A and B are shown apart, each in its own frame.
Chain A
Amino acid sequence: QKEVEQNSGPLSVPEGAIASLNCTYSDRGSQSFFWYRQYSGKSPELIMSIYSNGDKEDGRFTAQLNKASQYVSLLIRDSQPSDSATYLCAVRSTDKLIFGTGTRLQVFP
């Protein structure tokens, strides 16, 4: 059973801090990795994709991929209360996109 694991949280960080969200996956052959943000009562929204080892930055968001260790991370710099949401990690494994259960992030003022 190919899996994607995330800590369910909540992860609580103060406004302005860096939030670090982590995800591990079991299929070593996975090639594509995604982070979706889901506000309460809303649908998931793609915020980052990463395909090769290293860091990928987009505004306040940085995705980090380490295929040897089979983990992918999302860093949110200068966290804002509006970043409070559940963050879903998704991994392309063979021909399927497998989601984690998500990590709930709370950013408090």
Chain B
Amino acid sequence: ETGVTQTPRHLVMGMTNKKSLKCEQHLGHNAMYWYKQSAKKPLELMFVYSLEERVENNSVPSRFSPECPNSSHLFLHLHTLQPEDSALYLCASSPLGDEKLFFGSGTQLSVL
């Protein structure tokens, strides 16, 4: 059982839909991350939150909107996505200043 929980595990959405991905960590960490994993590509960092403040926005399109209401929860709001956004979206957390990441199980997203 991972200390980082993501829901839903699978999501299929149309290009006009709005959906949200949820991440919750039970490890007492103060940094949380969104990564995108596509086939044959390296993990891509999307957003970083440290102490609930966004510290990194890695040139991600505005159709992806993160939210971090507290240090245990992280959301990724999705709207008007494109088929090329289909990928595995991974949430991770770490202690503040520590580079070791703990990943959630991911949300496999398909955009039709």
In the assembled complex, the Cα of A46 lies from the Cα of B94 at a distance in Å of: 12
Partner of B102, one of A42, A46, A92: A46
| Chain A residues within an 8 Å CB radius of B105 | 42-43
Partner of B42, one of A32, A92, A98: A98
On whether the beta carbons of B45 and A96 are closer than 8 Å, the reply is yes
| Chain A residues within an 8 Å CB radius of B2 | 43
Chain B, interface residues (CB within 8 Å), range: 10 to 19
Encode contact with A along B63-92: 1 for CB under 8 Å, 0 otherwise: 000000000000000000000000000100
| Chain A residues within an 8 Å CB radius of B101 | 44, 46, 97
| Chain B residues within an 8 Å CB radius of A90 | 43
Name which of B45, B103, B104 has the most chain A CB atoms within 10 A of its CB: B103
Contacts A42-B105, A43-B90, A43-B104 given: A34-B42 contact, CB under 8 Å?
no
Nearest CB of A to B78, in Å: 19
| Chain B residues within an 8 Å CB radius of A46 | 100-102
> How many A residues, CB 8 Å from partner?
20
On whether the beta carbons of A92 and B99 are closer than 8 Å, the reply is yes
Interface residues of A in 1-57 (CB under 8 A from B): 4, 8, 32, 34, 42-46, 49
> Which residue on chain A has the smallest CB distance to residue B42?
A99
In the assembled complex, the Cα of A42 lies from the Cα of B41 at a distance in Å of: 16
Interface residues of B in 17-74 (CB under 8 A from A): 40-43, 45
In the assembled complex, the Cα of A100 lies from the Cα of B105 at a distance in Å of: 19
Q: Which residues of A does B touch, CB under 8 Å?
A: 4, 8, 32, 34, 42-46, 49, 88, 90, 92, 96-102
Given A43-B2, A43-B103, A43-B104, 15 more A-B residue pairs with CB atoms under 8 Å apart are A8-B40, A32-B99, A34-B99, A43-B90, A43-B105, A44-B43, A44-B101, A46-B101, A46-B102, A49-B99, A49-B100, A97-B45, A98-B42, A101-B41, A102-B42
